[in-house]
């Protein structure tokens, strides 16, 4: 009798486990290789390269298992950058009860002013506010999004705007972006800051900013390669 009492639930448990759908394999689990000349902005250990925007308050995003998760406001790098190659990896929560801009919204800003949108846009026909967009200016060439709850990558190639000695702009900012290895912007012309159209373009290097839009979006493995004379040396 005792054996039956143990055996029946055990068999039932094994059958249940066998019948459960297999756990989906994450599409991207690793960390991309870091070039030898990169400045590491976040390696999963601490937020020492970051502060909250508009203040010197140390960034206090949640730190766990090699990633940081948005909370308490946007964060910026303490160092400023002009022309650069930036790598970030991001993970979006599934927010099935939300839609549009409320669904896993965040963003990566170059020079503090030019946002590459982060959003759960999986499976959508991308528009100018969707993931991968240069926000409200350029729609990505293709929707390269992975489903939420998978790590994704951005590799961003940024040229800051140029000015002559009198402060007159001579060239717009330019952005090329790979999302998950797919070319989604090719040297896109960016005539104004994305955050506030009509605001002047910055004439000095600026921080890289990660947006806290009230969604528990995660980042990891963030590094930058400053390029050209517009950028400070590490
Ligand atoms: Mg955003």
DSSP string, 145-167: PPPTTSEEEEEEEEE--EE-TTS
Alpha carbon of 48 to ligand 1 centroid (Å): 23
pTM of the predicted model as reported, rounded to 2 decimal places? 0.86
Alpha carbon of 134 to ligand 1 centroid (Å): 10
* 3-class DSSP assignment, residue 15: helix
Mean pLDDT calculated for residue range 59-79: 97
For residue 183, the cross-strand partners are 178
Token pair for 185: 């912007």
180/83 Cα distance (integer angstroms) = 21
Name which of 1-10, 59-68, 80-89, 178-187 the model is least confident about: 1-10
Q: Are the C-beta atoms of 170 and 230 separated by less than 8 Å?
A: no
Alpha carbon of 128 to ligand 1 centroid (Å): 11
Percentage of the residues of the chain whose pLDDT score is greater than 70: 83
Alpha carbon of 50 to ligand 1 centroid (Å): 18
Alpha carbon of 30 to ligand 1 centroid (Å): 25
91/147 Cα distance (integer angstroms) = 10
Alpha carbon of 107 to ligand 1 centroid (Å): 4
Alpha carbon of 186 to ligand 1 centroid (Å): 21
Q: Are the C-beta atoms of 97 and 206 separated by less than 8 Å?
A: no
Q: Alpha helices, DSSP H only, in 1-143?
A: 2-19
Report which of 98, 142, 97, 93 is spatially closest to residue 118, judged by C-alpha positions: 93
Q: What pLDDT shows up at residue 10?
A: 63
DSSP state at residue 57? P
Which residues have a beta carbon within 5 Å of ligand 1, which is an ion?
A: 105, 107, 211
Residues 5-19: pLDDT tens digits?
A: 666 666 665 655 555
CA 190 and chain centroid, separation: 19
Alpha carbon of 153 to ligand 1 centroid (Å): 16
């Amino acid at each position: 009798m005792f054996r039956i009492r143990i055996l029946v639930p055990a068999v039932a448990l094994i059958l249940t486990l066998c019948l459960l759908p297999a756990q989906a394999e994450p599409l991207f689990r690793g960390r991309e290789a870091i070039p030898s000349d990169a400045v590491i902005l976040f390696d999963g250990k601490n937020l020492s390269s970051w502060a909250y925007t508009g203040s010197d308050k140390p960034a206090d995003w949640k730190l766990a298992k090699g990633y940081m998760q948005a909370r308490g406001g946007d964060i910026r790098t303490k160092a400023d950058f002009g022309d650069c190659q930036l790598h970030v990896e991001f993970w979006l929560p599934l927010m099935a009860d939300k839609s549009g801009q409320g669904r896993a919204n965040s963003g990566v800003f170059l020079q503090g002013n030019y946002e590459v949108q982060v959003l759960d846009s999986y499976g959508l026909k991308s528009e100018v506010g969707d993931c991968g967009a240069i926000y409200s200016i350029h729609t990505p060439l293709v929707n390269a999004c992975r489903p939420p709850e998978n790590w994704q990558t951005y590799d961003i190639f940024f040229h800051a705007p140029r000015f002559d000695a009198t402060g007159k702009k001579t060239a717009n900012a330019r952005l090329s972006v790979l999302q998950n290895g797919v070319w989604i912007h090719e040297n896109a012309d960016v005539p104004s800051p994305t955050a506030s159209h009509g605001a002047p373009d910055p004439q000095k290097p600026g921080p890289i900013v990660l947006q806290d839009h009230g969604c528990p979006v995660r980042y990891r493995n963030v590094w930058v390669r400053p390029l050209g004379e517009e950028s400070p040396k590490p």
